[in-house]
Structure 1
Amino acid sequence: MNAVWRFGAVAGVAVLMAGSAAAQETVVWWDFLSGGDGVRMKQLIEQFNAEHQGEVVIDATTLEWGTPFYSKVQTSAAVGEAPDLMTYHASRIPLAVQQGILQEITAADWEAMGLSPSDYDPATLDAVTSDGKQYAVPFDTHPIVLYYNKDVLGEAGLLTEDGLPKGLESAEAFTATLQALKDAGVQFPMGSVTADGNFMFRTIYSLMGQQGGELMTDGEFLAGDNAEKLQNALSVLAGWTEAGLQSTYTDYPATVALFTSGEAAMMINGVWEVPTMMDLQSQGQLFEWGAVELPVIFEQPTTYADSHSFAIPANQGKEMTPEKRAAVLEVVGWMAKNSLFWATAGHIPAYGPVTQSEDYKAMQPNATYSALTANMIFDPKTPLAGVAGPIFDVMSTYFVPTLNGEMDPAEAVEAIREELNDLN
């Protein structure tokens, strides 16, 4: 083999390698996922990268949940330094649209992802839509549920033949179940995050929804009889505290600890704590447990939910190439189609073909509570709503003293109504 041929062959290989390298698209990804769901998302990313080697690679960074994440996205998008793709709460979409930091998801994008809007629950899809335009693709819904200790409730004779807690059908019946647990010597019949009004918003808003109530009507907060419905919700929860049926001034970690230690027989918390329970049980460190839809305290089953979704930032002065957008959409489509694994984080996948699959229907406890998607309510569509938003902050100020017996529910509601409407 002469030197010229050898040089030509090497040069040819170099050109092919350079072409191959150029063909691979890197998708810069930001999320706010930690704990059990963060671990599972990292596994999904690793699987995607392995399956798309040489074509698309996800370069992922996890940032701090809540205000720090959203502030960084806003400032980064303004100078063209936001990621190519990010996780985003559906509840934050109206504010993001007002800020101009999200790109619209178009019909062509749906086709490129290999997905269809008809694959999604209308309420979930509506949660990421503003003025008829869609700005994100839902990945899940993550409602709150009722966790319960099957061993404790069983010993107290408070389980149905189906292994569910008794008393889920009314306020009177459920309160009777809590009282029976207290009478049986259970220290905390219910563990509740009563020291964090931001978290308790989820429970209280659910109970408003069970009365057909809504937080905002035609731009006005607590219009008509909605103030009364909020007061009803607060009164029930405050009554449980006064009767010693739920924990007082308990923060989030302490609430989880009360339940997992067996001191609290039940707990209202997000589905994202399912991995905690699964992991402890697999290590032989947890009792038999279950998770079900919230009890119907008022007229109808209703549960507050939010949605982790995928959004594409609108980077100022930095237009996304067609090749980059194709890579981003490939990531989103793949994640949807492989979201059965995401369900092990407790979340309910938003992609219908997954939740309708036999594998998902056999998954516990997810399959037990997934029917609640028919009864979900989302945040009102306003830039004031959403995770760590002004609505949460205002209501949190009054929820904590009210739930802990230091403020009258009627007084709290009046103050909330005034402060919320002052925000407009």
Structure 2
Amino acid sequence: MRLFKTLLLGTALTLGAMPALAKETVIWWDFLSGGDGVRMKALIDGFNKEHPDIQIQGTTLEWGVPFYTKVRTASAVGEGPDVMTYHLSRAPLGLEENVLSEITNEDLATAELKRSDFFEAPIDAATKDGKLYAVPFDIHALILYYNADLLEGSPYLDANGKLTGINSIEDFDAALAWAKEKGVETPVTYQTGGEGGVWRVFYTLLSQQGGEFVTNGEVLSGDNAEKAAKAIDIMSKWRENGWAPEQAEYEASVALFSAGKSAFQLNGVWEVPTFKDLEKSGKLGFKWGAVEVPALLGKRATWADSHAFAIPNEGDKTISGEKRAAVMTVIGWMEKHAIGWADAGHIPAYKAVTTSDEYKAMEPNATYASLAEAAVFDPKTTITGVASPAYDAALNIIAPAIQGYMSGADAVEQIKADLQDKLQ
């Protein structure tokens, strides 16, 4: 009897020591800093509070090459995360390196999602041979910011102070000339001295002509070369006329606009919170807005990329069972709560959020959300995308060309010579 009581007591103590719910820990890696990092941390905290049975353990790594190098090496030896953020422009390289695990329809069903829930462009960017390898979280793209105060009295503001009358490159050039004549220091600002800003503007102008950077395994073949040269020459003219800054680094290019020294800024949606915060604190001394980049060269098109959620392979395997179900639960929750991510300026890829009344009330976000239907992602190659050889070419070839060191045509020949052999 004493032994029986002892066994009962031991069993009771063991049960009492167990948690009320067994937890599934999801190892999460991202590259998100600044405002993006703050917002993602809030989303992770929100998920963890609602899901005592699944807990995200997050780690933030350095953006760009360091992140993707870490992912590749960790995945190869089976020490990667359970889920990670991933730029869709990097998906072709990730697939070549066998990093990305296929997201099946069954996986999506676990997350209570389906492909048709998302905008077409990011789903296409995440797909190869009909198979999905990441779940898009947003569309982040180039947009056109404008200073309404500096444009006061011009033909480029309507009665409500909204941008109007810019429907071609001639219209835009005329607006820049008008601003210069009125004493605006730098009519249009963008990152002229860095790979990211140069590539995004160049690729937008190329795409608006119907041009393609890579076709049939060739870089800027056929009339794509002429279209690329025209894009570069337009950017060069902006600099030559004193309309755009000389070799501006990213921070300096943003500061020109926030200080009221530029009538326009070509930059990503991610700077929207910067100007909202400055406006709220009373440190922004002008009215501003942001719109989809107008069809300056005949076609609605703008450079875009997506942050997405991906599951890395672990060597020759991938996570399965309850762990994979937990990961998909995380992804599904994040998509349905993407309004918290939209606050960072991004356009949610999950259409139910973008079409919601809450999102429609967000400005200028709701105004430029139209670009989701005109987004142009980088080609599906291993030489393009974030921290790629194409970005290197933007810095080392296109940037010098727009500073007057060579013509657009000569720059194109150098780009082709530099990148063709790297294209596999």
TM-score, structure 2 as length reference: 0.95
Task: Identify unmatched segments of 5+ residues in structure 2.
Answer: none
Cα deviation 1:203-222 (Å, max 9, x = unaligned): 11111111111011111111
Q: Kindly provide the CA deviation profile for residues 322-364 of structure 1, in whole angstroms up to 9, marking residues without a partner as x.
A: 1111110000000000001110000000001111111111111
**Shift, 1:317, TM fit:** 6.1
Unaligned runs of at least 5 residues, structure 1: none
From 79, 96, 99, the equivalent of 2:97 is 99
Structure 2: which amino acid aligns with 1:415? Q
| Range with bigger deviation, 401-410 or 98-107 | 401-410
| Paired letter, 1:220 | E
The 5-angstrom pairing of residues 42-57 of structure 1 reads 42-53=41-52, 55-57=53-55
The question of 1:341 aligning with 2:340 is answered yes
Select the residue among 220, 224, 231 that pairs with 2:229: 231
Match of 2:86? Answer: 88
**Cα distance change of structure 1 residues 20 and 317 upon mapping to structure 2, 3 Å threshold:** farther
Superposed displacement of residue 401, structure 1: 1.0
Alpha carbons 1:166, 1:177 under 8 Å: kept:
no
Task: Give the Cα–Cα distance (whole angstroms) in 1 for the partners of residues 243 and 6 of structure 2.
Answer: 83
Task: Tell me the amino acid that sits aligned with residue 227 of structure 2.
Answer: K
Deviation at 1:384, TM superposition (A): 1.7
Deviates more, 1:281-290 or 1:220-229: 281-290
Task: Give the distance between the partners of 2:214 and 2:138, measured in 1 at CA.
Answer: 24
Asked whether the 8 Å contact 1:168–1:294 carries over to 2, the reply is no
Alignment of 1:161-176 (within 5 A): 161-176=159-174
For 1:27, the equivalent position in structure 2 comes to: 26
What's 1:159 paired with? 157
* Structure 1 residues 226 and 336, CA gap change in structure 2 (3 angstroms): same
Pick closer, same or farther for the CA change 1:146–1:123 going to 2, 3 Å: same
Aligned match of 1:243: 241
Does 1:289 pair with 2:307? no
Residue in structure 1 matched with residue 401 of structure 2 by the alignment: 402
- Give the distance between the partners of 1:35 and 1:46, measured in 2 at CA: 17
Q: Deviations over 1:270-292 (max 9, x none)?
A: 10111111111111111221111
Number of the residue aligned with 2:178:
180
Secondary structure, in 3 states, of the residue corresponding to 2:298? coil
Q: Identify the residue that residue 270 of structure 1 maps to in structure 2.
A: 268
Instruction: Tell me how far apart the structure 2 counterparts of residues 12 and 356 of structure 1 sit (CA, whole Å).
Output: 53
Residue 329 (1) aligns with residue 328 (2)? yes
Match of 2:137 in 1: 139
Instruction: Using the TM superposition, give the Cα deviation of residue 314 of structure 1 relative to its aligned residue in structure 2, in angstroms.
Output: 0.1
User: Residues of 2 paired with 1:169 and 1:224: CA distance?
Assistant: 27
- Aligned residue runs from structure 1 range 295-374, under 5 A: 295-316=294-315, 319-374=318-373
Greater Cα offset, 166-175 or 237-246: 166-175
Percent identical among aligned pairs is: 48
Which whole-Å deviations, capped at 9, do the CAs of 1:217-245 have from their partners, x for residues lacking one?
Answer: 11111111000000111111111111111
C-alpha separation between the residues in 2 aligned to 1:168 and 1:90? Answer: 31
Structure 1 residues 12 and 184: CA distance shift in structure 2, 3 A: same
Question: Any conservation in 2 of the 1:49–1:57 contact (CA below 8 Å)?
Answer: yes
What secondary structure, in the 3-state scheme, does the structure 2 residue paired with 1:152 have? coil
Q: Distance in 1 between matches of 2:39 and 2:162?
A: 28
SS at match of 2:187: strand
Offset at 1:27?
0.5
Closer/same/farther in 2, CA of residues 30 and 349 from structure 1, 3 Å limit = same
Q: What is the distance in 1 between the residues matched to 2:200 and 2:46?
A: 33
Distance 1:94 1:183 in 2: 46
Q: How many residues align?
A: 421
Judge conservation of contact 2:101–2:318 (CA < 8 Å) in 1.
Answer: no
